[in-house]
């Protein structure tokens, strides 16, 4: 009985290697973007990945994101969004090859933000299929901010393409 209890505790406290690998990719993403290392940054995505940014017009293929970001990276201008909290779920399917995540991030300009997305295990390791970066707006501020955006869009400043 004691041995079974200890085995059960060991299984519960043993870190999931797949979750650790996914977390490592997300950490590498921030390191590469902060270092303005385009090759390392874009190597973490699948060829058909999507990136959804904070602006309403930022719903990009990975090729579109590369075209946007490369000039900034070439000038040494990256961005840093280190995670302060993260939840990773490995899909409960036999291959254990799909993961989704959500993370709380911090950024010098935007403060607290969120990242979420989907990753797939490929022959080259875990790769990001979709990444969504969003602003964490407190509920008490959501309505006033929504009104500002409506006014901005009504004035012809619609950020959506």
**161 pLDDT exceeds 70?**
no
Over residues 89-144, the pLDDT tens digits come to 999 999 999 999 999 999 999 999 999 999 999 999 999 999 999 998 999 988 99
pLDDT of residue 38: 97
State residue 14's pLDDT score.
Answer: 73
Cβ–Cβ < 8 Å for 119, 98:
yes
pLDDT tier for residue 158 given thresholds of 50, 70 and 90? low
- Cα–chain-centroid distance for residue 64? 17
The rounded mean pLDDT for the chain is 91
Share of residues in the chain with pLDDT > 70 (%)? 89
Which residue is associated with the tokens 């254990």?
96
User: Residue 7 pLDDT > 60, yes or no?
Assistant: no
Phi and psi at 17, nearest 5°, equal -60, -35
Residue matched to tokens 């950020």:
159
Pair of tokens at residue 135: 């602003």
DSSP string, 65-127: HHHHHHHHHHTT------EEEEEEEE-SSTT--EEEEEEEEEETTTEEEEEEEEEEEETTEEE
Residue 156: band (very low, low, confident or very high) from pLDDT cuts 50, 70, 90: confident
More confident residue, 136 or 159: 136
For residue 120, how many other CB atoms are within 10 A of its CB?
A: 16
């Amino acid at each position: 009985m004691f041995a079974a209890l200890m085995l059960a505790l060991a299984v519960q406290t043993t870190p999931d290697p797949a979750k650790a690998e996914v977390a490592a990719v997300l950490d590498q993403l921030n390191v590469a973007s902060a270092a303005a290392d385009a090759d390392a940054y874009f190597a973490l995505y699948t060829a058909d990945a999507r990136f959804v940014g904070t602006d309403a017009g930022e719903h990009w293929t990975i090729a579109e994101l590369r075209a946007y970001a490369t000039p900034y990276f070439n000038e040494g201008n990256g961005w840093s969004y280190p995670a302060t909290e993260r939840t990773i779920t490995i899909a409960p399917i036999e291959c254990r090859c799909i993961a989704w995540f959500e993370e709380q991030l911090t950024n010098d300009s935007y403060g607290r933000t969120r990242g979420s997305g989907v990753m797939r295990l490929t022959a080259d390791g875990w790769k990001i299929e979709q990444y969504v970066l969003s602003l964490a707006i407190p509920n008490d501020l959501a309505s006033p901010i929504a009104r500002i955006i409506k006014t901005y869009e009504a004035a012809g400043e619609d950020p959506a393409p």
